[in-house]
Amino acid sequence: MSTIADVAARAGVSKATASRALSGRGYVSEETRLRVVNAADALAYVAHSSATSLATGRTQTVGIIMPPVDRWFFAELLAGIQESLFALDYDLSLYGVPEGSETRERLFESVLPRRRFDGIIAVGIQPSARELEKLQRTGRPLVSVGPYSAGSSSISIDDTAAARIATEHLIELGHRDIAFVGGSTDSGELSFGDARRLDGYHGALHAAGLSAHARVAGATPTMPGGYTAAAGLLGDRRRRPTAIVGVCDEAAIGAVIAARRLGIAVPTELSVVGIDDHEHAEMFALTTIGQSPREQGHEAVRLLTLRMKEPDAPLEHVAAASALVVRSSTAPPR
């Protein structure tokens, strides 16, 4: 196996220069960099990253903890994190966290504390106090993506405001019978972010003197969840709401599909608004509160690199951008 000395000799540079050229850390001229890279290629040289890591104390690796990624939000967010880490030449170690399982306990109690990262990004996992303590005891910078922020820098949209603005949009159009689809999850528990969205819905109704009209249809935050809950709401002609706020676009799209199946025209007989601006929102002409999880991924990496440079800097809590996108799933009631 070739060593860095072999590469340096072939390229006619010092070992230190060869090392800088291959690691991308520290200045070398473009011409020298190319000469070293060609020498390394010719010798099939592979940097012994463990040795590098022992020497520098850095792993060039960031640990990502997130639920299994079968939803648009997480996939987009992960893509954003990947883009930023790749540009910075960091590796990404991915840990899935199934809710409430033994795997989760093993992850926090024994796996993560024994792994070495330069930093950790926790996405949508709502760590318990004990889990957070375990993460903090590792002494590595930690950034959370999501609406909980004790003990870490964090980024998320203002979920309460997002749902309030979505509901206010319907109230301004003249709706009074506005239902919320998405009041529960599979386990019967609301995620912290979804609970805030429910708060925002209630807050908007309350401010408009419409609290007596509040109606929440429990649904998992998925298309089938929204479909089933909306089908239940819309089945009884006399008690049918004139508008629906979906806890997320997937639930709202499920509601649009349910309405179409029941022969209820959107938006003339039913208005529907979501939260996310999901990749399918445009196809369903869905009015929604847009956010960009991909940009949140970039931002999470930026927050983490700041903390890696200055571990004692004050925690930052960044409110990600979100804004009403009006398409044609909402209109005044008949």
Q: Does 15 bind a copy of itself (CB under 8 A)?
A: no
Do the Cβ atoms of 186 and 225 come closer than 8 Å?
no
Task: Choose one: 174-182, 193-201, 236-244, 255-263; the region binding a copy of itself (CB under 8 A).
Answer: 255-263
Q: Which residue in 100, 113, 209, 311 binds a copy of itself (CB under 8 A)?
A: 113
In the region spanning residues 42 to 101, those forming contacts with a copy of itself, defined by CB under 8 A, are 44, 46-51, 53-54, 59, 61, 64, 68-72, 75-76, 78-79, 82-83, 86, 89, 91-96
* 172 versus 282: smaller Cβ distance to a copy of itself: 282
- Do the strands 322-325 and 287-291 form a parallel or antiparallel pair, or are they unpaired? antiparallel
Give 15 or 215: the residue with its C-beta nearer to a copy of itself: 15
Residues 6+ apart with CB under 8 A from 214: 180, 201, 202, 205
- Where would I find the H helices in 208-292? 223-235, 249-261
- 61 and 93 Cβ atoms separated by less than 8 Å: yes
CA 243 and chain centroid, separation: 28
- Contacts to a copy of itself from residues 193-232, by CB under 8 A: 223-224, 227
Nearest distance from residue 224's CB to a copy of itself, in Å? Answer: 5
Residue 314 tokens, joined: 């004050």
For residue 21, what are the CA distances in angstroms to 2, 5, 6, 17, 28?
A: 16, 13, 14, 6, 6
Q: How many Å is the maximal CA-CA distance in the chain?
A: 85
Site residues (CB under 8 A) for a copy of itself?
A: 22, 37, 44, 46-51, 53-54, 59, 61, 64, 68-72, 75-76, 78-79, 82-83, 86, 89, 91-96, 103, 107, 110-111, 113-116, 137-138, 223-224, 227, 254, 257, 260-261, 279-280, 282-283
